[in-house]
Amino acid sequence: MAQYRFTLFVTDVFAIIIGIVIAYQVRFGDGTATRHYGLYATALMLGWVIALQSAGGYDIRHLATGPTEARLVIRASAVTASVLAIYCYATKTEVARGFVIVAMPVGACLLLLGRTVTRRVVNRRRKAGEWVHRILAVGTSDSVLHLLEVTERATGAGLHIVGACVEDAPPGAKLAGTVPVLGGVREAAATAQRVDADVVAVTGSGLGPVSVRELGWQLEGTGRGLVIAPALTEIAGPRVHVSPVEGLPLVWLEQPQLGRLPRVIKRSLDLVGGLILLAFATPILLLVALAIKIDSRGPVFYRQLRLGTRGTEFMLLKLRTMNVGADQQRAMELSEQDGGGVLFKMRRDPRVTRVGRLIRQFSIDELPQLLHVISGRMSLVGPRPLAAIDSTYTGSARRRLLVRPGLTGLWQVSGRSDLSWDDAVRLDLYYVENWSLGLDLSIIARTILTVLRRKGAY
């Protein structure tokens, strides 16, 4: 990880320097700058790096963690700009506004780009078993299995469970056939040293508060980290707050943001964004509609009954991508589908037309649903509306109907049709429980990249 930190530091410095050089050329391309701008540029670079360090940009917990890392970079950039503005105002230092206006956003974008490229390299190394944390899980068999499930989903996090210390399984047993039980919970510190684990993760209720504190003492000076994995799963950080009372850290969990004001904000974003997108999409829709009519017989649009908010049914509009009568062939194809559960999906569905296969790659067939967004039936972001014939939701899966269905959603930007039904429901529930305006904007930005990459589209 020290090598990764150094690589990241060098990448950040180069990104900031390039951003400053671009800003200098834009503002002073005619050579009218004073000699002081070399000093200003150096101070800006050093201040920016210090802000990144102070925000936790080089903290081992945040490295290669995607959205969290991006938030830290944006926060550090905002702090740098604020400090620069205050300094110039307090000292009456004259720095060209054009230079600052270009340097800050360009530098921030280059920082995000550099870290994205670095993160992808790290993720490849981690998937190959390199640059990973060796985790010793301590708790109960069930809690260790849950932690294993999470770490296997998030391969980019670099967490590899090498063993477990539990009391409800004998030493030598294997949990899920891969994680060996190495001893009891009281032997965790010695076991971590024996298997060279660099992190000890206490899961569930395997240890009491006194035992956890003693385990922390035993790990002091060993260079091994101690992580507490609580039973709060699929809950985003903004909803979780720690409040110590007499030395006891109480974890407070806020209610989901489904109140009136957040709904008004979300509806305003849908209305404005839907109108703008529809204006840009109209010429594309006209061209594609013509191609559909030329390619195959049948109507341009396809209509299907879907479930909306709280289970209300509505007729969803899409561009037709299949041959007429494809619904009647559906039962014949079910045994050959590539997905499981409610999601019906085939990589090479014979019912899809030539034009349909092309427009599915870029999700152009979904654009008519902007009309539903504007009318209030749907939202720009939310769980995808599934066919009413498939939507026999029970238990927790029914909670996804609390919000308007979306044109795009969290599972669309996390794998689309490559995901299983269980993963799709899990991501949709995460969205419902942790909605925020920032999450919506993040999903919209990620949707653009996902569509361009065409991953999981078929």
Residue 311 DSSP label = G
Q: In a 3-state reduction of DSSP, which class is residue 207?
A: coil
* pLDDT score at 342: 55
What is the radius of gyration, based on Cα positions, of the chain? 26
Q: Which two tokens stand for residue 309?
A: 């908010």
Residue 136 CA to residue 149 CA, distance in Å, equals 15
**Half-sphere exposure (CA, 13 Å, Cβ side) for 1?**
14
Q: Where are the beta strands (DSSP E) in 108-218?
A: 133-139, 159-166, 174-175, 179-183, 199-203
Left, alpha or beta for 31 (phi > 0: left; psi -120 to 50: alpha)?
Answer: left
Q: What confidence score (pLDDT) does residue 164 get?
A: 94
| Structural contact between residues 114 and 11, judged by C-beta atoms closer than 8 angstroms | yes
pTM: 0.67
| pLDDT in the model for residue 39 | 86
pLDDT at 376: 93
Q: What is the pLDDT of residue 12?
A: 92
Residue 83 pLDDT: 93
Q: Is the dihedral of CA 33, 35, 41, 44 positive or negative?
A: negative
Lookup result for tokens 């997108």: 277
Q: How far apart are CA 217 and CA 224, in angstroms?
A: 11
Phi, psi of 244, rounded to the nearest 5 degrees: -75, 135
Q: Which domains does the chain have, with CATH numbers?
A: 2-127 (no CATH), 133-231 (3.40.50.720), 260-453 (no CATH)
Give me the tens of pLDDT residue by residue for the chain, a chain 458 residues long: 677 788 889 999 999 999 999 998 888 876 666 667 788 889 999 999 999 999 888 876 666 566 677 788 889 999 999 999 999 889 888 888 888 899 999 999 999 889 888 888 887 887 777 778 899 999 989 989 988 888 887 777 778 899 999 988 999 999 988 999 999 998 999 999 999 999 999 987 667 778 888 999 999 989 898 988 876 565 655 666 676 766 666 777 666 666 678 888 899 999 999 999 999 999 999 999 999 999 888 899 999 888 888 888 899 999 998 887 766 665 555 445 554 455 556 667 778 888 988 898 888 999 999 999 999 999 999 998 887 775 556 666 677 888 899 999 988 887 766 677 777 888 888 888 888 887 888 888 888 888 877 765 65
- Contact between 114 and 128 (Cβ < 8 Å): no
pLDDT at residue 237, rounded to an integer: 57
